[in-house]
Structure 1
Amino acid sequence: MSAPHTDVEQVEAANAAFYEAMERGDFEDLSALWLAPSDLGVDEEYHDPADTGVISCVHPGWPVLTGRGEVLRSYALIMANTDYIQFFLTDVHVSVTGDTALVNCTENILSGGPAPTGSEELGPLVGQLVVATNVFRRTPEGWKLWSHHASPVLTQNDEGEDEDTPS
């Protein structure tokens, strides 16, 4: 595959890299994909990094997390407690304006944890449907995540009542 040339292609590649790092459980790669004050030319020795480019994240059912420490700690916790996760992205839409890009997509998530018996096999796999909005900023090193917001999709059961997406 050739290198992405347009802004939209570059944002699509950055978005895919985010989900691939999650699937691999690669915390270092995932951390490098998030915007840092230094990406915006902010010298943290002389400026409060909270004043510029504060990142944020909302995982389904979680409160909003702000700042690199909180956001990256949440991913470390997720990775430490998830033996298997795979994202099938659908309905991906990318919009770029200047140095900001917006990606809306549906995350079809398949995940599993340890088997209840304590064996080394995966426990039952659980499926979840989530809509996500990822906001990216252009940096000298490429597009970096500025914000991720994910929310579960409610479905209706046979009685027509809303419920969380079935597992």
Structure 2
Amino acid sequence: MNMDATAVLFANEAFYHAFSQRDFPAMERLWAREWPVVCIHPGWPALTDYTAILESWRRILGNPATGTVIPHHARALLYGPVATVLCYEEIQGAVLVASNAFVIEGGEIRIVHHHASPCAHPPPPEAKAAPALQ
């Protein structure tokens, strides 16, 4: 089954909505369970264990200092049954560049890869950038 760009971009928005709302159950539902997974938070080592990735999100989302994340300039790249979304994350005055990869698992689009890192020269925010899935 090939990916659909609109559905992938919606899954990406759902990821950032869970992040911004500090909704751990939603974040947990988004991650694939049957595929290899990778998560690289800025300044952290690469995580490749499903349990470790979920624990990292539990810690991040449970931290009251975690701010709202506003994704912008999202672009879906489709590779048949796999898709990558490239975007920028605005969080607490900083802009990061991010890649999020998605697969279909159990008929649902699930994330298998998240990598965010500082960006020296990000594009300006889009005119109508707003928190995901308001």
TM-score normalised by the chain length of structure 1: 0.67
* Structure 2 counterparts to residues 131-142 of structure 1, below 5 A: 131-142=97-108
Aligned to 2:27: 30
Unaligned runs of 5+ in 2: 122-134
Match for 1:144 among 83, 96, 110? 110
What CA distance in whole angstroms lies between the structure 1 residues aligned with 2:66 and 2:113?
Answer: 24
Q: Do structure 1's residue 73 and structure 2's residue 55 form an aligned pair?
A: yes
Root-mean-square deviation (CA), in Å?
1.5
Aligned to 2:80: 98
Match for 1:85 among 67, 77, 85? 67
What CA distance in whole angstroms lies between the structure 1 residues aligned with 2:16 and 2:84?
Answer: 15
Structure possessing the higher radius of gyration over alpha carbons: 1
* Structure 2 counterparts to residues 1-167 of structure 1, below 5 A: 7-37=4-34, 53-110=35-92, 127-154=93-120
* Structure 1 residues 141-164: Cα deviation after superposition (integer angstroms, max 9, x where no partner): 321000001111136xxxxxxxxx
* Structure 1 residues 80-117: Cα deviation after superposition (integer angstroms, max 9, x where no partner): 2234521222221101121100100010113xxxxxxx
TM-score normalised by the chain length of structure 2: 0.83
What CA distance in whole angstroms lies between the structure 2 residues aligned with 1:29 and 1:144?
Answer: 11
Amino acid at match of 1:30: M
Aligned residues between the structures:
119
Amino acid at match of 2:76: V
Helix, strand or coil at the partner of 2:52: helix
Q: Is the contact between residue 16 and residue 70 of structure 2 (CA under 8 Å) also seen in structure 1?
A: no
Bigger relative contact order (CA 8 A; separation at least 6)? 2
What CA distance in whole angstroms lies between the structure 2 residues aligned with 1:129 and 1:82?
Answer: 20
Amino acid at match of 2:80: G
Aligned to 1:122: none
